[in-house]
Amino acid sequence: MSREDNDAKTFYVTTPIYYVNDAPHIGHTYTTVAADAIARYQRLRGGTVLFATGTDEHAEKVRRAAEAAGLDPQGFTDRVVASYYDAWQRMKISYDRFIRTTEDIHKETVARVFGELMEKGDIYKDQYQGWYCVPCETYLREDELVDGRNCPDCGRPVEEMAQDAYFFKTSAYGEAVMRAIENRPELVQPDTRRNEVLSFIRHGLRDNCVSRLNTGWGVPVPGDEEHVVYVWFDALVNYLTVAGYGYDDERFARLWPPDVQLVGKDILPRFHATIWPAILMALGLELPRIIFGHGWWISASGDKISKSRGKVVDPQAEVELLIEESGCTTDVATDSVRYYLLREVPFGHDGTFSSEALLGRFNADLANDLGNLLNRTLPLVKRYLDGEIHEPGPGAGALAEVAQSAVTRAEQGYAELDFRAMLQATWELLAAANKFVDQRAPWDLYKTGKKVELAAVLYDILDSIRIAALLISPVMPTVSEEIWRQLGLDSMGVDMSWDDCEAGGMPPGAKVRRGRPIFPRIDMDLVRKRVAQEARQEEEEEQQDMITYDDFQRLDLRVARVLDADRIEGADKLLKLTVDVGEEQPRTLVAGIAQQFGPRELIGQHVVIVANLEPATIRGVQSQGMILAAGEKEPLALIVADRECEPGEKVR
């Protein structure tokens, strides 16, 4: 099939592929829901779509997480990937392809691409001397570090690295990538991010290290088993694997280039807007049409209503919250969370996730504007028209203009990935329809026997609801289906199609069916009262957990100077420390801080230890005390004396 044949182009939309050391969270969900809305919209328009998502499994942090769980990496990723399948099923993600980087076809494609670039001289071997951030899986130069030891992206300590490695000639493509981004404003979006990217490139692109020493996890470098392909190179190639690059030319011709690639803003400048286009240029391939870097969600501080625990918002917990507070179905709650994510902030901006705002939108936008319009209109059709939609007749079409404008703006919103504007346009149509009910008062028309007018008014309202259901169906697929059902359209055999967005498309003869209200209202006063009561209860419980001053006095906290620090063989997380506590002999401690702190940065530090903790033998080493560090799940910062003091000094 030739690429000249434009109709043959399959609309190809991608999300990043996600690391499997973490279960899916709001970040993964956000990108994936947005991509899902795009895919559904394109299908609704009758297009052929390939929507791909998946998992990035060859990361060092994945290997370490597997080790910590006592599993081999493949067994570990096989297990975690299930949580992605499950999450996407719950969120109604209609992907066509879920790619795992551990699939053979992908490993073959990575090796093929790497080999091609080696042959062309775009990948060469040299010495790598620098730093690596394991959580971000990023190679960093000394001048990029913060405070000389922390990652500029996540702020966590980096690891030093010196090894033979393979490099990709990113620098050779810097100019060309920059020109492409400048000449094609659509390529990298939104504009603010595009400017960030351009300034990142202007700072100068250096060649990227694209391999790691082989620790038994990853795709081996072709012809050199001592090295594996760097996980980011491996991951970016997934977009080519999905498209059939190198093994299915016909498929590739249909899919390439991707139409929309969605990513979070953090992985745009360094990866998707530089290395990725550079690799494609090196391969002589067309660049994607749009690469869009969306913003980040943070959780509202003090959001007491949220069911998510900790700093990371869990979309499933928010779904449960909606079900609990409103009594709606799981499907409706899921659609409502999808709606909130795409409605609350402009795509591209950061947002604060607040459960209170989620419940608020459920009440205002969904229960009031949309739900209420349906719930107040259907009974009128039942009562006055025997439940059947009549021919529009003369006088109908009063809302046609508003509807047309909503459709045009919604189309523009979808095309520009401005989901918020698209939803706002739809809600203007709903507002107009609600106002129309009030103004035209069908009950009065009935009373005064204006039958023709009554039929026309009800027709216009239902037609507007029908159009609104179509416009939002990519975002709220189940809700739209339910509206379709209640309007009697499914039993008329009318499928949803964007072509039917025009006003006047409601088929006469459809029999409306009242169902349960889709969005039962939430009593916010009640919610707030209950939350306040729960908070009080929690406070009381906390007070019961108080210890007395005497209890505290029993702890012997002391300043200790670290004399020596060593890794413990076979234990990734543990360090053996030798510390001076002002006693005759130094003490030995075992501390679970090896992943966050290197031995060299500890020696000489004045840390705080619990000196009267019962000794314990850990990995054959006797530990005589415990070092104090901040951080609930993992040690983030050590507690150190902020000025000169003697080892053994009491801490009180």
Q: Which is nearer to ligand MSP, 235 or 429 (CB)?
A: 235
570: buried, middle or exposed (CB in 10 Å: 19+, 13-18, 0-12)?
A: exposed
C-alpha distances in Å from residue 184, one per residue of 177, 187, 227, 272, 497: 11, 6, 37, 15, 32
Q: Which is nearer to ligand MSP, 56 or 344 (CB)?
A: 56
Q: Which is nearer to ligand MSP, 16 or 488 (CB)?
A: 16
Nearest CA to 287 out of 191, 198, 178 is that of 178
Contact map string, positions 13 to 32, toward ligand MSP, x by CB under 6 A:
---xxxx------xxx-xx-
Shortest CB 314 distance to ligand MSP, Å: 11
What whole-number distance in Å separates Cα of residue 475 and Cα of residue 561? 58
Q: Which is nearer to ligand MSP, 292 or 519 (CB)?
A: 292
Q: Which is nearer to ligand MSP, 11 or 30 (CB)?
A: 30
Q: Which is nearer to ligand MSP, 291 or 562 (CB)?
A: 291
Shortest CB 101 distance to ligand MSP, Å: 9
Q: Are 159 and 151 in contact (CB under 8 A)?
A: no
Shortest CB 243 distance to ligand MSP, Å: 14
Q: Are 327 and 357 in contact (CB under 8 A)?
A: no
Q: Are 292 and 46 in contact (CB under 8 A)?
A: no
Nearest CA to 36 out of 57, 17, 50 is that of 50
Q: Which is nearer to ligand MSP, 34 or 402 (CB)?
A: 34
Q: Which is nearer to ligand MSP, 28 or 558 (CB)?
A: 28
Shortest CB 308 distance to ligand MSP, Å: 11
Which residue number is nearest to ligand MSP in terms of Cβ? Answer: 264
Could you tell me which residues come within 8 angstroms of residue 379 by beta carbon, excluding any fewer than 6 positions away?
514
Shortest CB 390 distance to ligand MSP, Å: 48
Residues 517-556 within binding reach of ligand MSP (CB under 6 A): none
Q: Scanning the structure block, which residue is given the tokens 């998510």?
A: 308
Q: Are 464 and 370 in contact (CB under 8 A)?
A: no
Shortest CB 267 distance to ligand MSP, Å: 5
Shortest CB 488 distance to ligand MSP, Å: 40
Shortest CB 499 distance to ligand MSP, Å: 34
Strand 571-580 and strand 587-591: the pairing is: antiparallel
Q: Which is nearer to ligand MSP, 299 or 486 (CB)?
A: 299
Shortest CB 56 distance to ligand MSP, Å: 4
Q: Does residue 56 interact with ligand MSP by CB under 6 A? A: yes
Q: Which helix (H) or strand (E) holds 11?
A: strand 11-19
Scanning 12-20, 41-49, 378-386, 389-397 for contacts with ligand MSP by CB under 6 A, the matching segment is: 12-20
Shortest CB 266 distance to ligand MSP, Å: 5
Shortest CB 80 distance to ligand MSP, Å: 11
Shortest CB 32 distance to ligand MSP, Å: 9
| Strand segments (E) across 441-600 | 557-568, 571-580, 587-591
3-state secondary structure 451-487: HHHHHHHHHHHHHHHHHHHHHHCCCCHHHHHHHHHHC
What whole-number distance in Å separates Cα of residue 573 and Cα of residue 496? 55
207: buried, middle or exposed (CB in 10 Å: 19+, 13-18, 0-12)?
A: middle
Q: Which is nearer to ligand MSP, 18 or 128 (CB)?
A: 18
Residues 274-313 within binding reach of ligand MSP (CB under 6 A): 296-297
3-state DSSP assignment of residue 166: strand
Q: Which helix (H) or strand (E) holds 132?
A: strand 123-133
Q: Which is nearer to ligand MSP, 16 or 586 (CB)?
A: 16
What whole-number distance in Å separates Cα of residue 613 and Cα of residue 437? 74
Q: Which is nearer to ligand MSP, 321 or 345 (CB)?
A: 345
What whole-number distance in Å separates Cα of residue 604 and Cα of residue 235? 41
Q: Which is nearer to ligand MSP, 272 or 558 (CB)?
A: 272
Shortest CB 339 distance to ligand MSP, Å: 17
What whole-number distance in Å separates Cα of residue 73 and Cα of residue 57? 9
Dmax (CA) of the chain: 104
CA atoms within 13 A on the CB side of 536: 6
Shortest CB 227 distance to ligand MSP, Å: 20
Structure tokens at 185: 């404003």
Q: Which is nearer to ligand MSP, 205 or 242 (CB)?
A: 242
Structure tokens at 553: 């006095």
Number of residues this chain uses to bind ligand MSP (CB under 6 A): 19
Residues 224-263 within binding reach of ligand MSP (CB under 6 A): 235-236, 238, 263
Residues 258-277 within binding reach of ligand MSP (CB under 6 A): 263-264, 266-267
Beta-carbon neighbour count of residue 302 at 10 Å?
7
Beta-carbon neighbour count of residue 256 at 10 Å?
20
Shortest CB 115 distance to ligand MSP, Å: 20
Q: Which is nearer to ligand MSP, 351 or 488 (CB)?
A: 351
Residue 525, Cα to own-chain centre: how many angstroms? 32
Which residues sit at the interface with ligand MSP, rule CB under 6 A? 16-19, 26-28, 30-31, 56, 235-236, 238, 263-264, 266-267, 296-297
